[in-house]
Amino acid sequence: MLKYLLKRSGIYAVMIFLTTSAGYLLAVSTLQPALLEQERIPRPTPEQVTSSFRLLGLDPTKSPWERYVDWLLAIVTRWDWGRSPNGAYINSEFGDRVWISTRLFLASIILTLIIGVALGVYSAARQYSLQDRAITSYSYLVYIVPAPIAYFLVQLGAININETVGERIFFVTGISTPGIEGGWAQFVDLLAHYAVPTFAITVVGWGTYQIAQRQYLLDNVNADFVRTARAKGLTRNQAIARHALRVSFIPVAQSIAFTIPAIFAGGFFAEKIFAWHGVGSWSIDAIALQDVNAATATLAYGSMIFALGAILADFATTLVDPRVRVQ
Amino acid sequence: MSADAFRTKASRSTAELLHVAAPFSKDAPVLSVRDLNVRFNSENGVVHAVRGVDFDLMPGKTLGIVGESGSGKSVTSLAVMGLLPTTADITGSIRFNGKELLGLSDKAMCHHRGNDIAMIFQDPLSSLTPVFTIGAQIIEALTVHNPGMSKKAKEARAVELLRVVGIPSPKERLKAFPHEFSGGMRQRVMIAIAIANNPRVLVADEPTTALDATIQAQVLEVLHNAQAETGAAVVMITHDLGVVAGMADDIMVMYAGRPVEAGTAEDIYYAPRMPYTMGLLGAVPRVDVAEKSSLVPIEGMPPSLLRIPTGCSFAPRCPLASEECLAGEPELLEVSAVPGSGGHKAACVKADSFDDDIDVRALFSAPPVPVSEFDGVPRAERSKVLELRNVRKHFPLLKGSLIKRQVGTVKAVDGVSFDIREGECFSIVGESGSGKTTTLLEIMEFQPAHDGEITIAGISNKSAGDAKARNAMRKKLQMVFQDPTGALDPRFTVFEVLAEPLENLGTGKAQIRRRILELMKLVGLQPDHVNRFPNQFSGGQRQRIGIARALAVNPRLVVLDEPVSALDVSVQAGVINLLDQLRAELGLSYLLVAHDLSVVRHISNRVAVMYLGKIVEIGDVQRVFGHPRHPYTRALLSAIPVPDPKVERSRERIILHGDLPTPLDAPKGCNFAGRCPVFAALPAAKQEKCLTLEPPLFPVVHHERGAKSETEADLESVDQQFACFFPDGQLDADMLVVHEAGD
């Protein structure tokens, strides 16, 4: 197993290297931070821009290939992912952003998975009942409603509550209130900031898992092996819980394993709407700000998260399905 | 399995005795079903799946329920188990030891399921949960009904059970997963689960239909032993009259949801009183009978279950049907004409007018045996339509994802040679994995690059590099496929299906039209049905369309790949008769691949028996089936059950050990040595020869002219060759099984 994982990791490392290199070359030849500098007031001279960029390691006069080699060398030798046009260091910036994204998504993704799978099982066991219809219709509804609209609706709801109560219970944007320190007050402030985004991401997210788990379980409810289990003397519900559920969980486990690393990757809409400046919004901003190094770094990070998800999915499959054996 | 695997009651483990048997009376039925009716609501209306089933199952006895698909036999068994969907409307009474089971809640029923009544299902591949070990699944059955049993005792009992059903090294196998077992082994595990709590009733729903012949024989043997071990009564559900002949004490024949005849096995097989039963018995070819006679075709198809018939449901297909048959459905009444036949019932108004000597063939107007113009010509004088010379197909077994390396070779077909002459039917038989289908594919692909030479009506594959030669070959050779539904495009009308091969050859429009009408008549379909779609025909009719399509271009050779295995018994007979008749009338040759040896014996002139890619015996079908020389042929033939209770109960059968080995593990010498009953009994010195040398095909010779033979070209050779060094060797006693009468 370990050998297999190492092998897969090796293959993914090569893939990440290739996509990142291609991404860098593409970014370096299309993004022109110098043009943005021209819009500053007072307008700097091109020579000033060039020299300030040269200091940041973003020399626009070098060929893309030369810059690529410099960039790669800095990463390999010093683990230095370069600097932004405004002078910020990617490395230090990055750590903060990942931590913000993780805090935003961690609780909601775990809730999404648990609620989604549980509701999937619940609705499959009661196929075509009123509960099943309501739950599944809801899942399809959030499936088709664009996420940003749902987030805004949740925000409006929270504001509504605040207004009705006449007191600010929920914060609809931001991570924390500056200045509040120490113990209980800080904790309450934390909850007030966390509640709205976590709730919004969760209610929109679980639909996918509910639909998948319901479908996979229904595929197995009438399977021959469930009938065998009933013939042994298990009741229908016991047979489904012990036999069908386990088999139907195999594909779901795979998609869950794939999702988990996404916690650290953040999401553009949620971060923008709730004003949590994590990796997701940073990656889009990087392009708007013509920031070659930040754009490439988020790309590399995204590929790594994807590879991690794929490896975890393989691992989860071998864990839950004895038919899959690694050679 | 060896006899000592079955312990006597005295030496049973304590775990086994945990199930305390209730006081069962010898004379009271253990299971009693009265007026069972099952209805389902479907989109098209109410389906009357089972109507008025009555039977009593005595302790330790076996009841066979026989019927075709849709006859209600499986629904009956699921109703007994309480496993029908909740939407089913079930009325009547099902009593176990006098206690009513119908109407019990799922929970209350669970007390009986697996404890008093257990079931074995048809498809062993899907009937075990793939993610749990065999041991866990057996132990679960024990846990449900013996919550107080210790873990150790349960494990011991599971090992015991696996030993009973003949699984080698049972202790280690407890940790194996279902996918690590072959189909036959999984069915053994299913039997082990079913008998885990010593049930009083075992319901077996087509337990061997999905298995190969030799594996079927093994599993039936296990079932027989399991019954002996537990003393359970068995309900055996099957469409195969052969399978129940040896096992069943009583038989119930079902048709369109109703029992139409019931009685002892002897009553049903030797003195049937319902025309459907008679037809069914006449429709099955027999592997043990050499004399050629046409099969009894039952015209038409079973009625729809959506309507309750107003008359006898078999009347539309019955040759004896008259006015009185349509006036109300006949009841299942005791047959009175035969004195002392107590309990023999038939649902036919004319039941009492039949006697034992009734000629079924005349009754159902079976066609006379067709005679081909080639039948009189000696084989050597007829021209060859197909010749295979040393055809090989080896698949390299590769390992590694990026850089592949060969770790072995699968010899799917390994040096096969035979020829087919004009007007002859040549069959290839063997279990799955023996290379029959690969051989067919090699012929159909007809690639010059293939190993070995294939000559079709004078065209060799070595010279068939261009499309023209291949087109010419296609005109000589056509194919009929196993699944008639899958082989016809559902969006094509019959006319389009039949016109396609003709258009390919550039035939004119008017000519195509004429030819299609001719073809429809030829295969026994109504010419005015040409504009219908395949789904408007029954299975048998679809197969006839498939045959018509193959015949459209007037081929010399037709390749038949399991042409009747997807069809019901009564329909199968009609298609076999048609094939027989077409061969005679059109002078066709057939290359038939089939797993049903009875069909093969009925229709073929010559036969080849394949085992792991090699022909082990080849020759005239009567010689090979009548006097088999190779131990594998003998085992294969002995594995086929015969629809005759007396023969079946007394005959000696060879039960091979294990499964067909993967071609990868094929031994160096004789492929069959590992499972061979002769090899097992040979002294070590002779065994050495089998293991190191590969036996070539020896011709069978027969000494007829006695003393004169010294001088002349003495030995007259017979059309039969076999690949075995010791065809006359003793069979290993371990692999021979004879069921004593009353066993």
Residues of A within 8 A of B121 (CB-CB) are 224, 227-228, 231
* Yes or no, beta carbons of A233 and B130 under 8 Å apart: no
Return the structure tokens found at B356: 């034992």
Which domain does A189 fall in, by range? 97-320
* Yes or no, beta carbons of B130 and A225 under 8 Å apart: yes
Q: What is the pLDDT of residue A13?
A: 93
CB-nearest partner of A225 from B107, B115, B127 = B127
Instruction: State the pLDDT confidence band at B741, using cuts at 50, 70 and 90.
Output: very low
* Yes or no, beta carbons of B121 and A234 under 8 Å apart: no
Classify residue A250: in a domain, yes or no.
Answer: yes
* Yes or no, beta carbons of A228 and B127 under 8 Å apart: yes
Classify residue A48: in a domain, yes or no.
Answer: no
Q: How many folded domains does chain A comprise?
A: 1
* Yes or no, beta carbons of B179 and A323 under 8 Å apart: yes
Most B CBs within 10 Å: which of A232, A240, A248, A321, as the mutation test of the B interface?
A: A232
Q: pLDDT tens-digit profile of B589-636?
A: 999 998 888 889 999 999 999 998 899 999 999 999 999 999 999 999
Is the pLDDT at B233 greater than 90, yes or no?
Answer: yes
With pLDDT > 90 as the criterion, what percentage of chain A qualifies? 37
Classify residue A61: in a domain, yes or no.
Answer: no
Q: What is the pLDDT of residue A53?
A: 84
Instruction: State the pLDDT confidence band at B5, using cuts at 50, 70 and 90.
Output: very low
Instruction: State the pLDDT confidence band at B401, using cuts at 50, 70 and 90.
Output: low
Lowest mean pLDDT among A63-77, B111-125, B562-576: B562-576
Q: What is the pLDDT of residue B337?
A: 57
Q: Helix axis angle, B494-504 relative to B539-551, nearest 10°?
A: 20
Classify residue A85: in a domain, yes or no.
Answer: no
- Write the CB contacts of A160 (distance below 8 Å, at least 6 apart in sequence): none
Structural element, H or E, at residue B522: helix B509-522
Is the pLDDT at A326 greater than 60, yes or no?
Answer: no
* Yes or no, beta carbons of A231 and B119 under 8 Å apart: yes
Instruction: State the pLDDT confidence band at B704, using cuts at 50, 70 and 90.
Output: very low
Q: Using the 8-state DSSP alphabet, how is residue A87 labeled?
A: S
* Yes or no, beta carbons of B193 and A235 under 8 Å apart: no
* Yes or no, beta carbons of B113 and A233 under 8 Å apart: yes
Q: What is the pLDDT of residue B717?
A: 66
Classify residue A279: in a domain, yes or no.
Answer: yes
Classify residue A33: in a domain, yes or no.
Answer: no
Most B CBs within 10 Å: which of A228, A242, A321, as the mutation test of the B interface?
A: A228
Classify residue A39: in a domain, yes or no.
Answer: no
Cα–Cα separations (whole angstroms), residue B160 to B5, B153, B195: 9, 10, 11
Instruction: State the pLDDT confidence band at A125, using cuts at 50, 70 and 90.
Output: confident
CB-nearest partner of A231 from B83, B106, B133 = B83
Q: Which of B279-293, B371-385, B412-426 ranks highest by mean pLDDT? A: B412-426
Considering the entire predicted model, what is its pTM?
0.82
CATH number at residue A224: 1.10.3720.10
Average pLDDT over residues B158-181: 89
Q: Using the 8-state DSSP alphabet, how is residue B113 labeled?
A: B
Return the structure tokens found at A234: 């298990």
* Yes or no, beta carbons of A227 and B127 under 8 Å apart: yes
Is the pLDDT at B104 greater than 80, yes or no?
Answer: yes
Structural element, H or E, at residue B478: strand B477-480
Q: pLDDT tens-digit profile of B292-323?
A: 788 888 888 788 888 888 889 898 888 888 88
- What is the distance between the alpha carbons of residues B408 and B394, in angstroms, rounded to a whole number? 10
Chain A residue with the nearest C-alpha to that of B196: A232
Contact B568, B541 (CB under 8 A): no
Is the pLDDT at B739 greater than 50, yes or no?
Answer: yes
Return the structure tokens found at A51: 């020299």
Beta-bridge partner residues of B410 = B395
Is the pLDDT at B247 greater than 60, yes or no?
Answer: yes
* Yes or no, beta carbons of B106 and A236 under 8 Å apart: yes
Is the pLDDT at B27 greater than 60, yes or no?
Answer: yes
Q: What is the pLDDT of residue B712?
A: 43
Classify residue A309: in a domain, yes or no.
Answer: yes
Average pLDDT over residues B55-62: 92
Q: What is the pLDDT of residue B665?
A: 63
* Yes or no, beta carbons of A236 and B123 under 8 Å apart: no
* Yes or no, beta carbons of B118 and A321 under 8 Å apart: no
Most A CBs within 10 Å: which of B74, B84, B131, as the mutation test of the A interface?
A: B131
Q: What is the pLDDT of residue B255?
A: 92
Chain A residue with the nearest C-alpha to that of B399: A327
Q: Using the 8-state DSSP alphabet, how is residue B660 labeled?
A: P
Is the pLDDT at B22 greater than 60, yes or no?
Answer: no
A&B contacts, CB < 8 Å: 79
What number of H helices and E strands is found in chain B?
Answer: 24, 26
* Yes or no, beta carbons of A229 and B177 under 8 Å apart: no
Long-range contacts of B498-502, Cβ-Cβ distance < 8 Å, separation of 24 or more: B498/B530, B498/B545, B498/B548, B498/B549, B498/B552, B500/B549, B501/B549, B501/B552, B501/B553, B502/B552, B502/B553
Interface of A with B (CB under 8 A): 223-225, 227-236, 242-243, 246-247, 250, 320-323, 327
Contact B178, B130 (CB under 8 A): yes
Residues of B within 8 A of A224 (CB-CB) are 121, 123, 126-127
Residues of A within 8 A of B404 (CB-CB) are none
Residues of B within 8 A of A231 (CB-CB) are 81, 83, 113-114, 118-119, 121, 194
Distance from CA of B390 to the nearest CA of A (A): 36
